[in-house]
Amino acid sequence: MKQAFATAIGSIMDKDERVLLLIGDLGYGVLDRIIGRHSDRVVNMGICEQNMMSTAAGLAHEGFSVFCYSIANFPSLRCLEQIRNDVAADALSVKIVSVGAGFAYGTAGMSHLGTEDMNIIRCLPNMTVYNPCDPVDAGLCTWKAYQTEGPCYLRLGRGHEPAVIGEGGVFAPYHVVKHGGEVALVASGAILNDVWQAALRLQEEGTDCAVYGISRIKPLGEGLVEELSRYPLVLTFEDGNIIGGVGSSLLEAANEAGVNLHLLRKGLDDEFVSVVGSPGYLRMVYGLDRDSIVQCVKKELHAI
């Protein structure tokens, strides 16, 4: 996804001289072409995310649209006070780009994981939250964030994610990846691939699952909860804490709309990741890989 972001932000900066890119001493390689083309509008802020966010707020006050780019939880949790007080409170055009969401940096340990970032950031007033599901979606969400007034949070995978949603030149807040009738499986971000693969396996075994991918968590797409309410069971899968995450956002929206939604949340059950390993290994440990999802769906369908 980060390469798709780099392609999109490069095109945006070609088009609009008001767009600036601040980076937290990373991105070399993937951002080299942009740095070469727009060296006067790319600033390496060093490992100083609090300063980066306050600087972005000042630049936005002067009429610039500023993208801030760093790893996982660092451009979110490390500088939460600056995001809240300097950026969100004034609804400034600062786009926060978090690379390596969920378990992507699993070999670096809990301190480098983005497993609570989206949950916390989406609570901030004025903040729009994008969590693209594959590289094509990442490019579309980058353009949409640029076009969105006020602050945005753009949560990306680390790279080499497979295409799930596929080609398509128009942004959509959610996508129906696979139609089905027995149960709706819902995910947001790179974990959608595991859910989709599980649905294909279940179909081979005779269980007909729909798969939904959510690209924009806040605000949710209109009509989504009403559409999901047609299913006897909805299961959400997320590579982060289930409290305040994707399932929570759907339940909140359903409650406000007066929609009856039978929804169960699957993810980190109000806990920190306590093991170290590759993203695939962590998904297996926490029941979020393809085979674990298959078994989970069978178990929950048997219970209703």
What is the set of domains in the chain, with CATH numbers? 2-156 (3.40.50.970), 174-303 (3.40.50.920)
pLDDT over threshold 80, residue 166: no
Residue 156 pLDDT > 90, yes or no?
Answer: yes
Mean of pLDDT over the chain: 95
Check residue 158 and give its pLDDT. 85
Share of the chain above pLDDT 90, in %: 89
pLDDT at 125: 98
Span 204-234, pLDDT tens digits = 999 999 999 999 999 999 999 999 999 999 9
Residues 233, 298: Cα–Cα separation, whole Å = 12
**Tens-digit pLDDT profile for residues 262-301:** 999 999 999 999 999 999 999 999 999 999 999 999 999 9
Q: Exposure string (b/e) for 17-48, b if CB count within 10 Å is 16 or more?
A: eebbbbbbebbeebbeebbeebeebbbbbeee
Q: Which residues are within 8 A (CB) of 64 and not within 5 positions of it... i.e. 6 or more apart?
A: 18, 19, 20, 93
Give CA–CA dist 286/17, Å, rounded.
45
Q: What is the pLDDT of residue 152?
A: 98
**Whole-angstrom Cα distance, residue 35 to residue 37?**
6
Per-residue pLDDT, averaged over 145-165, amounts to: 93
Instruction: Look at residues 236, 221, 227 and name the one whose alpha carbon lies nearest to residue 179.
Output: 227
> Residue 118 pLDDT > 90, yes or no?
yes
Measured in whole angstroms, how far is the alpha carbon of residue 289 from the centre of its chain? 18
pLDDT tens string 123-138: 999 999 999 999 999 9
User: At 25, which amino acid appears?
Assistant: D
What pTM does this model have?
0.95
Q: What is the pLDDT of residues 13-49, one digit of tens each?
A: 999 999 999 999 887 788 888 988 999 999 999 999 9
Strand 263-268 and strand 234-241: the pairing is parallel
Name the residue among 214, 266, 261 with its Cα closest to residue 240: 266
Question: In this model, does residue 169 exceed pLDDT 90?
Answer: no
In this prediction, residue 304 carries a pLDDT of 81
Q: Quick one: pLDDT band at residue 72, thresholds 50, 70, 90?
A: confident
